[in-house]
Chains A and B, each alone.
Chain A
Amino acid sequence: MSEAVVKFTDFYFKYLSSELVLKNINLTVPKGSFTVMAGPSGAGKTTLCKAMLGIVPFYYGGSYSGSIEVLGENVKDKRVSDLAMRVGLMLDDYESQLVSLTAGEEVAFSLLNHGFKPQEVEARTKKALADVGLPGRENYQLDELSGGQRQRLLLASVLAVHPEVLVLDEPVSAMDPDGAKSLYALLYKIYREYNMTVIVVEHDINNLLPYVTHMVIVNQGVIAAQGPVMEAAEVTYAYPLLRENLPRLWQIKFNLEQRFGLQLGNWRSESEAQQELQERFQGGIGKC
């Protein structure tokens, strides 16, 4: 997993009328990783995502220094549309990415723009809708779909192109807990099946615990932690203001480790956590 699909080197960026929003970014996303990116609002996570496709700075304008390599090529030398064939992006403001009247047209829109043949467009549209749990909804109008269903639809449009890298900015923000869990399970399946690299921005990492291999924490335009997920989590916990970005279970883990000077397992599920906690701890008497 040493090869990098995304590599920022000494990257700085400001929008036309903003302060610096990204500062001294040296970030590597390893090929084949399932990377989660977290951090407070306004930290620069979305800007980082957009930079991976060259949308920042080349579409928005602004000033930058440093370089970004995506899949071994300097973003500066590529058009956004070329990168979009290999890197799929789903924005947090998902409504702004939906442009068609029906679900089928929406998926077909991205395929047709990428020059796929009509027969292939139809087959891929059908498959992509089924993949995200919207089978047979080709003729549904977008306003008949709920917010969560529209997010799934957008994921289908991005997946239909079969990108090598998938960048998702809060892809489950409008989904119920069950929907969020099943979308991430689905995403993991697709990630394994197509050997992709996945980068997900997510406030609530709890749902990603079983899958995530790497973590990036962004704070005030700076990378506060990056690397294999447990190492990055430990670094993050050292900053009290950033702790809330960690999954609840790991906050509990690090809290208890510090409090009692012991080592607990790297829990990937609530049942693992519960089992070890029950073995080693009890509820304080009279404190309930």
Chain B
Amino acid sequence: MDGPSVGLQLQRLKEAVIGCDLDNVEKIAREALDIGVKPVDAIQEGLAKGIKEVGERYGKGEAYLPELVMAANVMKKAVAVLEPHIPKGTDLGSLGKVVIGTVEGDIHDIGKSLVGTILGTSGFEILDLGVDVPAEKFVSGVAGQNVRIVGMSALMTTTMIRMPEVISALAGKGVRKKLVVMVGGAPTTKEWAREIGADAQAGDAVEASQLALSMVKGR
């Protein structure tokens, strides 16, 4: 294996993500495999570094949201090429799983999906339950392995009131304590989070990502 060319290929993967190169990233990923780059390295040392950089620029208000979303999609496309070549049981260094969803009765999911994208770029695995998600579905969602955070969104005061129901349902199954519960959406506030016994509230996706990272590390 030729060192410099491996380094160069990792750099190309990183740049493909930063440059949102949707058209060429699969080809670059295949070339990486062809020259013997380990798929885990291609992800962690190439693609993930790219998304981290875009995410940081986004957090500073420099990169645009469509850029971040595109970069995430570029990464996904490349991961799909690389993943089948990763030996089973390899540690991918995930920070854990985040289950997110928009609560029952509410279909406004732009913000929620955005939070999913940003958390995804921060190193979490995302399980997005979608919109109009009843409490039971959140409970079954967290039953999987390595779930660290549950995130709920609501855009309306009339649906926000579903959030405490989800928290009680989690408590009823005895899983509330091992999870970080985060809420978000226009009508939610920090006071509201305290009132219903959630762990955190975020005003936007960047704050959500910062809170998620600090809360997971704090545990």
Say whether A associates with B.
Answer: no
Mark B residues whose CB is within 8 Å of A. Answer: none
Mark A residues whose CB is within 8 Å of B. Answer: none
